[in-house]
């Protein structure tokens, strides 16, 4: 099969593509209008996802079990859902808690000023972690949707940070005590629904994690839209997480800079950013590829009916695979390789890596650098970037 055969972009379980129940199940409600699509039954979602070649389905506790369900209702729902997941050969790689919809969370959950809210948030999360464990999830995501403020005078932001740490340390203890073998993935977002959310970027999260008691079991779940909302390079954020072995999960979608959280189909905006991201995740430039789930946290346009939703989901996976193929071709191109290699002067490596020694300091101080020659050299990045654009536009392969 040629690399251009459209079938080669069909998803397979090895691709580890996953969707949340809340993503394809999004009925199109927004602040200006109600649902435009009927609510889909979770079991129907799982069957459809399996039919289009997805591998995993993720959920918040309340995507599956209504907030006020009785114990017997809960057990019936979970039993049926588990059977559907098993029948379709799907998996539940990740679960999370809805700590933002119910009015009790209007001032946050783990960071709320009212201790009863914080206690309820821990109670709800432990119950949701139990559900995740029952469904076989090995990754547990924390997105602090309402962990923020508008009236900033309401609390010392250091207290919010401290409360968040205490909650994470407590819940890590719970998972260890129960032997669930789960890892936590923390998801940053700069704002929306709160005016400002604490821990607004992946970089903030990475530092926060280094202050936790069980730092080894906590990583990040960066989302394209969230870093782009903050005006940042998503690939750079992901690269830092990968370099620290902290990329435990990822939320893929599309976003225009400077907007509200759009959650668009993956690759539908900023194709260059998406190309650089997939190149990094797939390791086509070299380096260890990302081996976790490729999760799409996005939803279909409000213009769509159910058929449009499945087109949206297929589009996310197909574009990811197209970009993976484009990135592999780009990095295999001899001219690209040469342009990148030209920037590398291996000779100085021993002086530049491996830490400080007295000898290296002396050698560096004595080094004769022809400053003018180095400064006047063109770097060839125009040609390199044009080649990237040509691969992206499909005129070079």
Site residues (vs ligand GCO, CB under 6 A): 96, 141, 143, 187, 189, 223, 251, 261, 297
Three-state DSSP state, 349: helix
Q: At 20, is the secondary structure helix, strand, or coil? A: strand
Cα(45)–Cα(186) distance, integer angstroms: 26
- Respond yes or no: is residue 60 known to be catalytic: yes
4 with 321: CB under 8 angstroms? no
Which of the residues 61, 63, 251, 297 is marked catalytic?
Answer: 63
Find the shortest distance in angstroms from Cβ 200 to ligand GCO. 12
Catalytic annotation present for 63: yes
By beta-carbon proximity to ligand GCO, the closer residue of 206 and 229 is 229
Q: Which does 96 bind (CB under 5 to 8 A by kind): Mn ion, ligand GCO, none?
A: ligand GCO
Residue nearest ligand GCO (C-beta atom): 143
Q: Which two tokens stand for residue 297?
A: 């946290």
Q: How far is the CB of 393 from ligand GCO (least distance, A)?
A: 30
H helix or E strand, kind and range, residue 39: none
Say whether residue 269 binds Mn ion (CB under 5 A): no
Any bridge partners for residue 19, and if so which? 57, 296
Q: Which does 61 bind (CB under 5 to 8 A by kind): Mn ion, ligand GCO, none?
A: none
* Rounded distance between C-alpha atoms, residue 24 and residue 42, angstroms: 10
Q: Which of 63, 107, 147, 261 binds Mn ion (CB under 5 A)?
A: 261
Taking the complex as a whole, the smallest distance from the CB of residue 223 to Mn ion amounts, in Å, to 4
- Binder of Mn ion out of 297, 312, 316, 391 (CB under 5 A): 297
C-beta closer to Mn ion: residue 147 or 297: 297
Could you say which of ligand GCO, Mn ion, none residue 141 binds, taking C-beta under 5 to 8 angstroms by partner kind? ligand GCO
Q: Could you tell me the smallest distance in angstroms from the CB atom of residue 357 to ligand GCO?
A: 46
Give least dist CB 54 to Mn ion, A: 17
Per the residue annotation, which of 4, 44, 60, 114 is the catalytic one?
A: 60
| DSSP structural state of residue 304 | -
> Alpha carbon of 186 to those of 61, 84, 103, 205, 206: distances in Å?
17, 28, 23, 7, 9
Considering beta carbons, is residue 261 or 269 the nearer one to ligand GCO? 261
Nearer to Mn ion, 26 or 111 (CB): 26
Reading the block at residue 333, the tokens are 């191109």
CA distances from 278 to 179, 182, 252, 315, 396 (A): 34, 26, 10, 15, 18
Please count the CA atoms within 13 angstroms of the CA of 113 that sit on its side-chain side. 10
Pairing type for strands 196-197 and 218-220 reads: unpaired
Q: Which positions are annotated as active-site residues?
A: 60, 63
Summarize as ranges the residues that interact with Mn ion (CB under 5 A): 223, 251, 261, 297
């Amino acid at each position: 099969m040629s690399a251009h055969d459209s079938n080669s972009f069909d998803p397979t379980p090895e691709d580890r593509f996953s969707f949340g129940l809340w993503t394809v199940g999004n009925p199109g409600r927004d602040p200006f209008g109600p649902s435009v699509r009927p609510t889909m039954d979770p079991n129907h979602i799982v069957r459809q996802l399996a039919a289009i070649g997805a591998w995993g389905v993720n959920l918040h506790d309340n995507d599956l079990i209504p907030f006020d369900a009785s114990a017997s209702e809960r057990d019936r729902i979970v039993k049926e859902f588990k059977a559907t997941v098993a029948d379709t050969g799907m998996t539940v790689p990740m679960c999370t808690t809805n700590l933002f919809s119910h009015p009790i969370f209007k001032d946050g959950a783990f960071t709320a000023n009212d201790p009863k809210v914080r206690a309820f948030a821990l109670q709800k999360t432990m119950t949701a972690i139990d559900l995740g464990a029952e469904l076989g999830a090995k990754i547990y995501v924390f997105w602090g949707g309402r962990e923020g403020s508008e009236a900033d005078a309401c609390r010392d932001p250091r207290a919010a940070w401290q409360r968040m740490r205490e909650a994470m340390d407590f819940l890590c203890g719970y998972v260890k005590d129960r032997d669930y073998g789960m890892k936590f993935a923390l998801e940053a977002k700069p704002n929306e629904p709160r005016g400002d959310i604490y821990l607004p970027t992946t970089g903030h999260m990475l530092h926060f994690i280094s202050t936790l008691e069980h730092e080894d079991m906590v990583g990040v779940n960066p989302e394209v839209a969230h870093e782009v909302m903050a005006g940042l390079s998503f690939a750079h954020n992901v690269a830092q997480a990968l370099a620290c072995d902290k990329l435990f999960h990822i939320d893929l979608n599309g976003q225009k800079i400077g907007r509200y959280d759009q959650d668009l189909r993956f690759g539908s905006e900023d194709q260059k950013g998406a190309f650089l991201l997939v190149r990094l995740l797939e390791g086509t430039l070299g380096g260890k590829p990302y081996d976790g789930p490729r999760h799409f946290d996005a939803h279909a346009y409000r213009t769509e009916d159910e058929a449009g939703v499945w087109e949206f989901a297929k589009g996310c996976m197909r574009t990811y695979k197209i970009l993976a193929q484009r990135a592999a071709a780009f990095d295999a191109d001899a001219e690209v390789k040469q342009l990148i290699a030209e920037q590398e002067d291996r000779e100085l490596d021993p002086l530049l890596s491996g830490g400080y020694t007295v000898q290296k300091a002396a050698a560096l101080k004595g080094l004769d650098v022809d400053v003018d020659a180095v400064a006047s050299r063109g770097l060839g990045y125009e040609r390199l970037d044009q080649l990237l654009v040509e691969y992206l536009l499909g005129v070079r392969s």
